[in-house]
A and B are shown apart, each in its own frame.
Chain A
């Protein structure tokens, strides 16, 4: 694998007052290779969205605050970049699709203008060439009759169509990295499948790398090469899709996989992980999964496990499974 396109190293993010901050992201590290699609999974509240917003430095400040770490993109640390340089990166090199298509589009701007704006901000095209590009993008995302929809406003579209507009907007400048934050969560199930198909198509037709954030392992398995599992603001497992789905090493990942319903399921009840995600910042010491873990031991409560390697492309933060592996 060539040098990674995106390398997040030891990223920590705090929320709340400077005097008494709550750490919502703790020491998060992972990378996205060129042309790769990486999935970021975790329950809500695990810090997935904050991670993605931190990459673009879109975490609202205050109350948020990036406390430590590096976000290396194409060899340059984005967190060190002067603030006024970020707009040049956003939309051009890294583009983002958000979870809420209903509210993520400007209600008083025609969608043609909104997509056009994404082009205008980074490319010097005259207005007719820009219009062509917008139409081309709308065709790419499967918008029926794109020419006549240029002047339409967001409220005239369904959720799925709005998400297509969002995707077209994100692809406007052929970004090197496309971050999709739960792109299908807010949609109806049938529409979800369509948008997912679209994501797959983009995966094969556009050569952007993708960071796909989802709580749905099925979606990730469908699209991604690698998976990063997050829990309570930390990365707990990281590896290629195959090994994670076949031999998950972290008890949390194991639990997540067991909880996925399957077609050939003969279980009476779906498995569920007992307990719930701890409140952000409430775990001061030890493994954050301790309270819900079936394999827990005393040392787990005292010391946060480091990421143990399980093969060249697979690592997980668990004392117990790491020891089993060694013995």
Chain B
């Protein structure tokens, strides 16, 4: 079967170049339209229209914005360090555009010259490549803040470095749970293992998913974690002094990170390009052959890749990624910003110990299951789902006791505020005196 062949070296280079150009173009286009989506969705959330004048439904708005940013005057603050000021946006955008390379976007595509993997670079270190490169993203932000020679920008840069280091730890620990279950660090294998388990990892690793979403929000500096640019405190933080295309660079970098983080959530926890229930799309390179799975005797079953399957899986991947992008936007326009000490508290005193404990729990459960001889599959996944589900509920119950998220300890609960107000004899908005107040009201205040 010639469709099943691996590519020859020449066609490997041709396919590689095509994929680099294709994925880069699509990512940049997606980023442009994410800015529009952000403004439109925020409009809907705030009961207004958002930009809808340029083209049908405002669809040409990103192009208008790009032209505006390209022809605007570039300002260069007189007291800035020129070299680092220009270097900042470059360093910010570089890691943002290359991290998407290791994410598989669809099932392998059959072509006359061989089967093309729908991933730009299937590097053996997979997720570690993304973690390593995104850990470099902070340099751009910190240098921009420092080189601007502006105290607000500088504070933004400092906050960025502290925050991104803190949440990198929690992010890495939440990924470790996935690595334990997948048994490898490459993202193609993670998709394959989820297909083999017939259960997306979000179920057996529910708490890790919650940690990942929270840490990814913090790593991408999005609300409620946008401390580096908190506009009510720091004007716009690290990019206060930037204008025109240099400002756009930071913007593009942020949205690329959001896109990559969304694609990662889809890949690590929601099966990547896997279509749920249907097993016809399961595909993986096993000892030089593309297989669909193993039969009862453990012999590999050959897979039949087709253009239709590739397109369908690409659609599944895009839909999942788009959902998480929307979730990002939704969260941004729903939640208020944390205070800086709350961000640090959440990262170091809640997420870090909880993620460590969760890893021990998952590893222990897996060890017991392996010792009992439970084969890796649906039953294995469901047992883990049970264990993880109980832990998740317990964690959420423990965390949401008005202590972590509300600033003033113990004042977040409406019932408690009412009780306190009643104790102090304060009437509520409806003018009704709360029940126990008359007995215990302070005569001095009434």
Q: Do the two shown chains form a genuine complex with each other? A: no
